Amino acid sequence: MTIAAKFEIEYLQYLDAEGKQIRDDLPAFANDLEHMVGLYKTMLSTRVFDAKSVALQRTGKLGTYASCLGHEAAHVGVGSAMKPEDVLTLSYREYGAQLYRGVQPREVYMYWGGDERGNDYQNEPARHDFAWSVPIATQCLHAAGSALAFKIRKEPRVAVCTVGDGGSSKGDFYGAINIAGAQNLPMVAVIVNNQWAISVPRRIQSGATTLAQKGIAAGLDCIQVDGNDIIAVRKAMGDALDRARKGEGASVVELVTYRLSDHTTADDARRYRGEDEVKDAWSKDPMKRLRNWLTARGAWDDAREEAWKNECDEWMDNEVNAYLETRSQPVTAMFDYIFAEVPADLAKQRDYVLSLEQKGH
Ligand SMILES: [Mg+2]
């Protein structure tokens, strides 16, 4: 038998579920404990932010909300590996990456509260990242387009897209990685494999052994990573970004994690998945393993945990107040920014809602 080609997929992990180091070749950044504490603090602020967001939705102050519970290492790992000048195109759950890049919680609240101005992130570097993309996987094409622009302009920047396990089944994902391989684009496609695409489990989502291997057909560098181990995520992302920046090609990085929450606040996951599975996933919680690892090195303790949580609570309270005090846009705004010239039928509707507003409705 003649073999035309052979492939394999590496799996990367440094810390086990309890935070015990299982390899001794730690990447350089992990020996900088101050840096690692900074990553942990962003993970914890993401978790505090997430709990606050769910509470806001449950009390009628947000329309709906997609929780990121359990994805903290995956999302913060992606955000922290990127350079400010890189571009992030994402779906709607990757707040850990966004907070790291300067998105304000009040902007997330505005978005889920129905105010599109939340998409207009005010702080750099998030300011030049893309808006949330609810249509599944279309953001992968935005990343490919951005990466092509960087290549044409000879800018040393990388476009990073994040997509779910379900999103990686879409043609948009395959089209994006195909052009990235064919054109040698500076792009990293991150599959955040959280085991569920709303109610569809990973095992019936794809026949592939790993989701990372989808990139092999496109000629990309591919790796599967323990997405609850931030050291592994940060290392795999750093390597993929370096290669892309040097013109050495695009990558697919699969982060294996678990969605501990419902899909969104409009979902009830108890209807389609068992308690044992969720209990097992909690034992692999990304917060626990990094906290244990830092504590064993004397870099973290309960007092610091409590103090930082209190700071986060105060931060979120300020953000909630800023959100609730934001004045709504005039109702006519929904007509004013779609077409350069408002078509006649919409102009009629615009006049009508304006007349209702003037009557005080
Ligand atoms: Mg998913």
Domain spans of the chain, in order of start: 10-328, 330-361
Q: How many distinct helices (H) and strands (E) make up the chain?
A: 12, 8
For residue 205, report the distance from its CA to the centre of ligand 1, in Å. Answer: 10
Q: Is the peptide bond before 125 cis (omega within 30 degrees of 0)?
A: yes
pLDDT of residue 331: 85
The token pair at 155 is 């800018």
The token pair at 234 is 């940060």
pLDDT of residue 337: 84
Domain spanning 10-328 has what CATH number? 3.40.50.970
pLDDT of residue 65: 98
For residue 200, report the distance from its CA to the centre of ligand 1, in Å. Answer: 8
Distance CA(162)–CA(167), nearest Å, equals 9
For residue 176, report the distance from its CA to the centre of ligand 1, in Å. Answer: 19
For residue 257, report the distance from its CA to the centre of ligand 1, in Å. Answer: 9
For the chain, which ranges sit under pLDDT 50? none
Distance CA(177)–CA(99), nearest Å, equals 26
For residue 37, report the distance from its CA to the centre of ligand 1, in Å. Answer: 28
Any idea which residues carry the catalytic annotation? 259, 263, 272
**Alpha helices in 138-274, H assignment, sequence order:** 138-153, 171-182, 230-245
For residue 5, report the distance from its CA to the centre of ligand 1, in Å. Answer: 31
Percentage of residues in the chain with pLDDT exceeding 90?
94
**Contact present, 351 and 81 (Cβ < 8 Å):** no
pLDDT of residue 358: 82
For residue 319, report the distance from its CA to the centre of ligand 1, in Å. Answer: 28
This prediction has a pTM of 0.95
pLDDT of residue 69: 98
Which 3 state secondary structure label does DSSP give 132? coil
Give one word for 315, left, alpha or beta, with left for phi > 0 and alpha for psi -120 to 50.
alpha
Local structure of residue 270 (DSSP, 8 states): G
Among 107, 47, 53, residue whose Cα is nearest residue 290: 47
> Which residues fall within 8 angstroms of residue 154, CB to CB, at 6 or more apart?
none
End-to-end CA distance of the chain: 77
CA 226 to chain centre: 16
- Which residue has 């995520």 as its token pair? 233
**Contact present, 191 and 252 (Cβ < 8 Å):** yes
